[in-house]
Amino acid sequence: MNQLQYIPILTEAYQRGYEQKYAQTENRPEMKMHYFKTKTDLPRVQVVLSFLHGIVSAGQCESLLDVGSGRGVFLFPLLREFPALEVTSVDILPHRVELLDCIRTGGVGNLHPMLADICSSSLPDKSFDVVTMLEVLEHIPDTEKAVKSAVRLARNYVIVSVPSKPDDNPEHIHLFSNEDLENHFLAAGCQRVKFMSVTNHRVMIAYL
Residue spans per domain, the chain = 3-207
CATH class of 3-207: alpha beta
Give the closest residue to 153 by CA, choosing from 192, 134, 127, 133: 127
pLDDT attached to residue 28: 87
pLDDT at 171: 84
Q: Beta strands 201-207 and 63-67: pairing type?
A: unpaired
91-95 CB contacts, 8 Å cutoff, 24+ apart: 91/115, 91/116, 92/68, 92/116, 92/117, 95/29
Q: ∠161-166-172 over CA atoms, to 5°?
A: 65
Within 10 A of 177 (CB to CB), how many other CB atoms are there?
A: 11
pLDDT of 37 > 60? The answer is yes
Name the band, by pLDDT with cuts 50, 70 and 90, for residue 4. Answer: low
Q: pLDDT-derived band of residue 119, with 50, 70 and 90 as boundaries?
A: very high
The whole-angstrom separation of Cα 104 and Cα 110 is 8
